[in-house]
Each structure stands twice: as structure tokens, then as C-alpha cells.
Amino acid sequence: IKEILIEKVREGVEVRLFYDDVGSIGFINPNFEYRMEALGIQCRAFNPVTPIINIFMNNRDHRKITVIDGKVGFTGGYNLANEYFHITEPYGHWKDTGVKLEGDAVKNLTVSFLEMWNSVRKRNSTNDTCYDKYLPDIEYKGEDEGFVQPYGDSPLDHEQTGENVYMSILKDAKRYCYFITPYLVLTDEMQREMEMAAKRGVDVRIITPGVPDKKIVYLVTRSFYTRLCQNGVRILEYTPGFCHAKMCVSDDEIATVGTINLDYRSLYLHFENGCFMYDSKAVMDVKKDFLETFKQCDDVTMRYSIRRSLPVRIVQCVLRLLAPLL
């Protein structure tokens, strides 16, 4: 990837790289920004780690956005790391998903990127106050008559957009509603909405990893299984390895693909983004991916429908106290 970016710089392309500092700790050196700048790649780190207590350190940039010439955009669960491309597989087969956009919808991704870019002010640099040159008029004639809307979520506007999208889909579901998430650390509101949907006859299923990347979070994830299963929600674990995808699809009509996990951090603390699709052909692509993934999962619903032993329940209660921190 670096070689390609260098090649594009030499061709005169404006190349920018924006990353979250905490998410990259242990993977890149402190002088990474300077090395990229020396190659002609503009580079900024969001919310750099400082050795002092800072409440804002809890707010990380979890968005994944790629925009090319304002005409093509990508988003989804993919980070730039070896396991996402199966160069290494420390947690078994790594499953992820993304969406490619063309047309006017790309403008939302462009603006989202520039807003985050401008949130970091570097010495002797000017921020982009005018976005017009990055928002070209595009003549795009697609065959899809559906509605596609990229959206962002910020912890600073007191609007839980990510959670609201998921809950709205659940509220409107009539036949089925499927989720896939690497972490299941639910708010009470989200858990109740899932249970209510299942009780009114909606087929609610959640895919979680079969191989954890963070063992403590995995234990907390499993602590939510029993109540969900006892109230009609089906839980399936992805047996080949770790699923990092964040998707939801419902009733062959609505789907969303993005960066938003079903956990407190994604829903309340991080800068996130997603792509909402309604009555679009891509909705059925998302459903197809779910149906194929179900075949590779272990349905643990019956196993967790049984009331757990007292020691297990005590451990789960302790773990749930940590849930808002995870």
C-alpha cells in the first residue's frame, strides 16, 4: 500500500493518511508521521496519546473511510493491518465486510474525512475551510433505484446516531433482523428492543466471533447470551475465527454496513460511520453474505437458554459491571 501511495504522489495526486493514535499503538513507530511526510504523503494522527489524564482520550476515531477523486468511496470494517488481508491469521480466519460507493453519496464520506482531518491542527499547516474542490459534480447513472445514505456518529453532539439506526431497524422489523458484530456489549435499551422484536415473532439473530481477539471482552460478550436466548434471540458464533464485520439487514428492505459495533464504545464514545441502504440491490447482497456466514456458525442458542449455575452468574455479574468501560 505504501508503495502505491508513493507512486501516486509522484504522479501529482494529493494523498492524505489519517489514523487513530491509540488504535495504532504497537504497530507503528512514533516517527511514522514524519516518515510519511518525507515521502510526500500528508499524515495526521487523531487525538495523540499524552502521558496526562485527559477525559477526551476516551473518544477515538474508529471510522474507516477511503475516498478517490470524490467519485469513489469505501467504508466498512476494514483497517489497514495484515490480519484483514489474511497475510497473518492470529485469530483464525478474519471475516470483514465493506461497501463501495459511487455517485453523490461519496460526498458524505469526503466531508466526514475532511471534518476529522481538520480536527487535528498541525504547526505551520492550514486546514481546508472550503470543501468545494473536493466535492465535484458527478454525472452518475446507476440502475439501482434504492436509497443509500452514508452517515456519521460523534460523541460530541449528544445524538446516538449509530444506536438509533440499529434500534429503528429493530422497531420496524416484521420478519427478520440479522446482526453481525465482533463485540456484544449492549445497552439496556438495545437489549430490550431485541427481546421485544423476538417476542413479537421477528427472527432476530446475532453472529459473534468463535475465536476472540480480546478475551475479557469475549467473556463480557458471552455474559449477554443467556437473557437474549431465553427471550427468543438466536446467537451464532463464527467458527472459522474472528468476525470483525459490523452489519445489519432486515426484511429484504433495509441494511447498514459500517464501523459501528454493538458495544458501549462504538455507540457512545467513538467517532463512527456507516452506510444505510433502503430498497437497494445491495441489501440483498448483505443478506446473501449473512446466509453464507450462518453455514459457518455454531448455533449456541439452546446451550445458553438454560439457566447458568450460581458461580457462573456471579462471574457474569462482575463482568457486566465492567461493560460500560469496554
- Residue 279, pLDDT > 90, answer yes
Average pLDDT rounded to a whole number, residues 57-78:
93
- Residue 179, pLDDT > 70, answer yes
Domain assignment present for residue 273? The answer is: yes
Give the pLDDT score at 125. 61
Domain assignment present for residue 23? The answer is: no
Cβ neighbours of residue 226 under 8 Å, at least 6 residues apart? 304, 305, 307, 308, 316
How confident is residue 314, by pLDDT bands cut at 50, 70 and 90? confident
Phi-psi region at 83: left, alpha or beta (left = phi > 0; alpha = psi -120 to 50): alpha
**pLDDT (tens digit per residue) in 193-202:** 999 999 999 9
Indicate if 298 belongs to the active site.
no
Q: Which of 21, 96, 107, 246 is catalytic?
A: 246
- Residue 163, pLDDT > 80, answer yes
**pLDDT (tens digit per residue) in 288-309:** 999 999 999 999 999 998 876 7
Give the pLDDT score at 306. 80
Indicate if 199 belongs to the active site.
no
Give the pLDDT score at 325. 65
Domain assignment present for residue 115? The answer is: yes
Indicate if 270 belongs to the active site.
no
Indicate if 69 belongs to the active site.
yes
The structure's pTM equals 0.92
Q: Which of 172, 203, 213, 251 is catalytic?
A: 251
Indicate if 251 belongs to the active site.
yes
Give the pLDDT score at 54. 61
How confident is residue 321, by pLDDT bands cut at 50, 70 and 90? confident
Give the pLDDT score at 127. 61
Cβ atoms 310, 296 nearer than 8 A: no
Domain assignment present for residue 12? The answer is: no
Domain assignment present for residue 119? The answer is: yes
Domain count, the chain: 1
Query: Which residue is associated with the grid cell 429484504?
Result: 252
How confident is residue 209, by pLDDT bands cut at 50, 70 and 90? very high
Cβ atoms 286, 247 nearer than 8 A: yes
CATH of the domain at 100: 3.30.870.10
Domain interval for residue 177? 59-325
Give the pLDDT score at 229. 95
Give the pLDDT score at 130. 80
Give the pLDDT score at 177. 98
Indicate if 20 belongs to the active site.
no
Q: Which of 107, 244, 270, 287 is catalytic?
A: 244
Give the pLDDT score at 51. 67
Query: Does residue 175 or residue 308 have the better pLDDT?
Result: 175
Q: Which of 20, 21, 61, 64 is catalytic?
A: 64
The winner for highest mean pLDDT among 103-107, 251-255, 317-321 is: 251-255
Query: Which residue is associated with the grid cell 427472527?
Result: 203
Domain assignment present for residue 272? The answer is: yes
Average pLDDT rounded to a whole number, residues 53-71:
86
Give the pLDDT score at 1. 92
Q: Mark out the alpha helices in the chain (DSSP H runs).
A: 2-10, 32-38, 106-118, 161-172, 188-199, 215-223, 225-230, 264, 281-294, 301-305, 310-322
Q: Which of 20, 21, 62, 107 is catalytic?
A: 62
- Residue 52, pLDDT > 70, answer no
